[in-house]
Amino acid sequence: MIPGLKAISLLELKALEVPRCWSVEGHLDEIPSLTPLRGKISAEHQGNILEVKGKIQTIVTHCCDRCLGEFNQRLSLNTEEQIWLGIGDPTPGKPNNSNQPDDIDALMVCLDPLGSFDPERWIFEQLSLRMPLVKDCGDDCPGPPQPSKKGPGAQHQQPPDIDPRWAALRKLISP
């Protein structure tokens, strides 16, 4: 949990009439990181839209999917998002006292206008979207660990029984 990042009521945010800014420094329980998350985010109520801007960075440790070794990766975000405040999907022509984007379909996220905005949850979601799907330590990755062929009796071991259905493939790869 990051100190100072508590959810704020959207009605309270609307009453501020200026963007609410948070300074971010700490760790998220859901994203274990090597360094604390550092940066700033702001949220501004603009009628039917909540505009959120954030610039955060940290370093996370991943386990390589190929060699199972650990490696560090810088994870950062510098983004802004517009969130629809209303029940259901935004509809063109609806009264709005905000600077609504031209493309109404761009508003993918929706919040209840009587609900609240959780800046810590927003940071978690944004950083999660930037996590790599395939964790690869790089071009120098040694690949999966290979069984050791050295040691006592390694030369006298018989190959394990192989399913006869693989015999044709074995012929292709054997010299």
Report DSSP letters for 58-77, one per residue.
EEEEEE-TTT--EEEEEEEE
Is the confidence at residue 97, as pLDDT, over 70?
no
Q: Which residue has the tokens 């990766």?
A: 73
Instruction: Give CA–CA dist 119/128, Å, rounded.
Output: 14
| Residue 164: pLDDT band with limits 50, 70, 90 | confident
More confident residue, 154 or 77: 77
pLDDT at 4 over 60: yes
Task: Tell me the pLDDT band of 113, cut-offs 50, 70 and 90.
Answer: confident
- Write phi, then psi, for 167 (nearest 5 degrees): -60, -40
Helix, strand, or coil here: 12? helix
With cut-offs at 50, 70 and 90, classify the pLDDT of residue 106.
Answer: low
Whether the CB-CB separation of 89 and 118 falls below 8 Å is answered with no
